[in-house]
């Protein structure tokens, strides 16, 4: 039970630290990420928020 709680807590902390989509930090991190690793949704969001 303690392991399950630990895993859930760590997962929540990791996802909670991700920058908001469309923010300047998110755009910068996407520019540094290899474009071959982008998902279709990430590419669409990048175009919508960081290009236009």
Which residues form the domain of 35? 20-52
pLDDT at 16: 66
Asked whether residue 45 is domain-assigned, the answer is: yes
Asked whether residue 44 is domain-assigned, the answer is: yes
Asked whether residue 11 is domain-assigned, the answer is: no
Structural domain total, the chain: 1
pTM score: 0.64
Asked whether residue 31 is domain-assigned, the answer is: yes
pLDDT digits (tens, 9 = 90+) for 1-52: 888 888 877 777 776 677 899 999 999 999 999 999 999 999 999 999 999 8
Supply the DSSP string of 1-52, one letter for each residue. Answer: -HHHHHHHHHHHHHHHTSPPTTSHHHHHHHHHS-GGG--HHHHHHHIIIII-
pLDDT at 38: 95
pLDDT at 15: 65
């Amino acid at each position: 039970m303690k392991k399950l709680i630990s895993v859930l807590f760590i997962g929540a902390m990791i996802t909670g630290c991700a920058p908001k989509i469309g923010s300047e930090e998110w755009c910068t991190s996407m520019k540094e990420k290899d474009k071959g690793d982008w998902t279709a949704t990430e590419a669409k969001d990048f175009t919508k928020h960081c290009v236009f």
